[in-house]
Amino acid sequence: MTDRRIPDWAMRAWERFTLYGLIALGSVIGGLSRYLVGVAQLALVGPPFPWAILFVNVTGSFIIGFYATLTGPDGRIFAGTRQRQFVMTGICGGYTTFSGFSLDTLQLIHHGHRAAALANVAASPVAWLIAVWVGYAVATRLNRLRTVAATGAEAENLQIPRHATLLRIFVDESDQHDGMPLYEAIVLKAREMQLAGATVFRGPAGYGQSSQMHLANALGVPDTLPLIIEIIDGEDAVSRFLPALDEMMPGGMVTMEKVEVLQYGRPAGR
């Protein structure tokens, strides 16, 4: 029987192409948004002070601080690498501009508006830092609401019995599911089904059924490395997750074992 599996190099190339395409699309969205803000300033306020650049840099700082915190490791929303790069590198990178700020300041000086130029230099960086901090603070507050709101039946679902089940899933870094890395899809599904915890480990070297070694090369560019996903919860919760996992797995290996949980979550009062 012919092996129709897509070669690893082709999968890596497609992943790179998809990532670059998403960043480019985000840059178009961000850059066009910045242009429209500039048009609005000229129509509503006019020169000389560059209110548009100040506005996009302040709002962009808020957005990136908010989104990075909301989708971080302790965030309320799960977002994969490509989604985060699309928003933060693409949209925010295209939307905000330090070069525009520098040029506007130079033009203010050139046209004799030295006081406005000084105000722009003094106020803008402070406003950016305040905005990114406010975004971080708001997202942190939202992240904490998730924990505070976990009461009643929801809180009951998040408890792990002392004698739990550890699900260990072995996949390749290049494996895909519905247009995203398989490991991200598995973690997202586990979180959607409210399993207690999931962690992805990246192996620096390994081989499987084919006996082909996978390891980082001498240039530091990684080959398709093995990944291990560990999911822990009660036996019933893990059993409910297995049918969903079966639909996503193109191959690989899955093991289950009984474990004793000594501590879960933060101690009371912290």
Look at residue 101 and tell me if it is in a domain: yes
Q: Is 38 annotated as a binding residue?
A: no
Q: What are phi and psi of 269, to 5 degrees?
A: 90, 0
Q: Is 96 annotated as a binding residue?
A: yes
Q: Classify 57 as helix, strand or coil.
A: helix
Look at residue 6 and tell me if it is in a domain: no
**Cα(233)–Cα(239) distance, rounded to whole angstroms?**
10
Q: Does residue 247 share a domain with residue 128?
A: no
| Domain enclosing residue 43, as ranges | 11-143
Last residue of a domain, one of 143, 176, 198: 143
What's 179's domain CATH number? 3.30.70.120
Q: Does residue 137 share a domain with residue 23?
A: yes
Taking only the tens place, the pLDDT of each residue in 130-173 is 999 999 999 999 888 755 554 444 445 556 778 899 999 998 87
| pLDDT recorded at residue 50 | 87
Q: Does residue 135 share a domain with residue 24?
A: yes
Q: Does residue 41 share a domain with residue 116?
A: yes
pLDDT at 41 over 60: yes
Q: Looking at residues 112-130, what average pLDDT do you find?
A: 92
Phi-psi region of 152 (alpha: psi -120 to 50; beta: other; left: phi over 0): left
Q: How many domains does the chain have?
A: 2
Q: Does residue 221 share a domain with residue 172?
A: yes
Q: Taking the CA atoms of 178, 180, 183 and 185 in sequence, report the sign of the dihedral they define.
A: negative
Q: Does residue 120 share a domain with residue 184?
A: no
Q: Does residue 127 share a domain with residue 176?
A: no
Q: Does residue 238 share a domain with residue 198?
A: yes
pLDDT at 75 over 80: no
Taking only the tens place, the pLDDT of each residue in 170-222 is 988 778 887 778 888 899 889 888 898 888 887 766 666 655 665 654 434 44
Q: Does residue 121 share a domain with residue 15?
A: yes
Q: Does residue 92 share a domain with residue 184?
A: no
Look at residue 268 and tell me if it is in a domain: no
Q: Does residue 139 share a domain with residue 16?
A: yes
Indicate the average pLDDT of the chain.
82
pTM given for the model: 0.64
Structure-model confidence comparison of residues 200 and 81, the more confident one: 200
Residues in CB range of 244: below 8 A, 6 or more apart:
189, 193
- Burial of residue 58 (CB within 10 Å: 0-12, 13-18, 19+) is buried
Last residue of a domain, one of 113, 143, 173: 143
